[in-house]
Amino acid sequence: MNWAALLGNPIKHTLSPIIHREAFKQAGIDGAYIPIQVKEGYLEEVMKGLCFMENLLGFNITIPFKEPAVRLMDISGEEVKLIGAVNTVKRGEDKLVGFNTDYSGFLQALDEAWGENIEGCKALILGGGGAARAVIYALHTRGAKEITLALRSQFKGEKLKEELSWASIKTIPFKKEAIEGALAEQDLLVNATPIGLKGEAMPFSLERLSKNAFVMDLVYNPPLTPLLKEAKERGIPFCNGLAMLLYQALDSFEIWTGCRVEAGPIKEILHRWEKEATENR
C-alpha cells in the first residue's frame, strides 16, 4: 500500500482525506491519506523520518508549517521560493521536493467560478499570510494590473513588500474607511484572512463594490460566510474556498502519483458535505 499524509496543527477539521481517498480510488491505486498532528517545534524531526519511508508518496503541509517548511526542502519549485511557502512535498530518492499548489488551486477555482481574464484586473486581498502570498503569486503570473493588500500591521506590510519584491503591491490599513475607499476600483476581492470561520462579519460593507466584480472567500466552512452572504444579497458573483481546496489537492495528487483524476465525482462529494454543513448551522 502507498500512502500520503497531511502535516499540520490542528488538523481535526480537514476535508483533505475525503478528497484523496476518492482520488486513490479513481486512480486505481491502493493508497491511504493520513492526517498527522505535528507537535509545534518538531516539524524537522517528523519530516526527517518521513523522508525514508519507502511507501510514502509525499505529503501536504498546512497551518502553521507552510512557511517554516521551505528551508527543510532538498529541492523546491520556483513558485515555492517566490511565494515563501510550501504546501506539497514529494518524496523522491530520499529527498524532499517542495511545491506550492495553493496558487494553482486558486487559479483553477477562480477561472471556473469567475471566468474573466485576470490580465489587467485590479484586486484587493484581505490579509497577508501564506494563502495571500499564493494568491499574489497567482494574480501576478496572470498579469493582474494592480494588487492591493489590506493588512492590520503596517510593519508586516513593509516586510511583505520587501520579501515579495518581484510583485508590485500596494498596502492599505485593514480599516473600514480604507477598504471601502478602495473597493470602488476593484474587479476582484479575495478574503485570505480567517474572518468568517466563526461566522464573524467583515468590518466594512460591499456597497461600493461593482456588481461586475467578483468576491472569493478562501474560507469554505461555513460555506456561506457573512462576506459571501452580503455579496449574494447585493447580486455580486462570488465563490467560497471549497473549489480551491479541491484543485490544490488534485494538483498535489498528480505530483505524487502522475495521475490526474477527474474533479467531477469529488465535487459531488464535497457539495453533499457543503449542503450538510449549511443545514447543520
Q: What is the dihedral of CA 269, 263, 242, 31, to 10 degrees?
A: 70
Cβ–Cβ contacts within 10 Å for residue 192, how many? Answer: 26
Helix (H, G, I), strand (E, B) or coil at 212: coil
Per the annotation, the verdict on 211 as an active-site residue is no
Instruction: Tell me the CA distances in angstroms from 97 to 8, 77, 78, 92, one per residue in order.
Output: 18, 8, 11, 7
For residue 138, what are the β-bridge partners? none
Closer to ligand NAP by CB, 52 or 198: give it.
198
Q: Which three cell numbers stand for residue 123?
A: 484586486
Q: β-strands 31-37, 2-8: how paired?
A: parallel
Write down the catalytic residue from 39, 48, 66, 161: 66
Closer to ligand NAP by CB, 23 or 131: give it.
131
Residues of span 136-155 touching ligand NAP by CB under 6 A: 152-153
Q: CB within 8 A of 71, min separation 6: which ones?
A: none
Nearest approach, Cβ of 59 to ligand NAP (angstroms)?
16
φ, ψ dihedrals at 60, nearest 5°: -95, 155
Q: Is 174 in the site for ligand NAP (CB under 6 A)?
A: yes
Nearest approach, Cβ of 129 to ligand NAP (angstroms)?
2
Closer to ligand NAP by CB, 51 or 277: give it.
277
User: Do 18 and 269 contact (CB within 8 A), yes or no?
Assistant: yes
Q: Is 195 in the site for ligand NAP (CB under 6 A)?
A: yes
Closer to ligand NAP by CB, 43 or 195: give it.
195
Closer to ligand NAP by CB, 35 or 130: give it.
130
Q: Is 75 in the site for ligand NAP (CB under 6 A)?
A: no
Binds ligand NAP (CB under 6 A): choice among 25, 156, 161, 208: 156
Q: Is 21 in the site for ligand NAP (CB under 6 A)?
A: no
User: Do 214 and 187 contact (CB within 8 A), yes or no?
Assistant: yes
Cβ–Cβ contacts within 10 Å for residue 129, how many? Answer: 18
Closer to ligand NAP by CB, 195 or 206: give it.
195
Closest CA relative to residue 242, chosen from 120, 121, 117, 105: 105
- From 53-61, 72-80, 178-186, 194-202, span contacting ligand NAP (CB under 6 A): 194-202
Q: Is 129 in the site for ligand NAP (CB under 6 A)?
A: yes
Binds ligand NAP (CB under 6 A): choice among 60, 88, 148, 193: 193
User: Do 281 and 222 contact (CB within 8 A), yes or no?
Assistant: yes
Q: Is 103 in the site for ligand NAP (CB under 6 A)?
A: no
Q: Is 241 in the site for ligand NAP (CB under 6 A)?
A: yes
Q: Which three cell numbers stand for residue 134?
A: 499564493
Nearest approach, Cβ of 10 to ligand NAP (angstroms)?
11
Binds ligand NAP (CB under 6 A): choice among 244, 263, 266, 270: 244
Q: Is 11 in the site for ligand NAP (CB under 6 A)?
A: no
Distance CA 242, CA 248 (A): 10
Element (H, E) at 81: helix 78-83
Residues near ligand NAP, by CB under 6 A? 63, 102, 105, 127-132, 152-153, 156, 174, 192-195, 197, 218-220, 241, 244-245, 248
Write out the catalytic residue numbers. 66
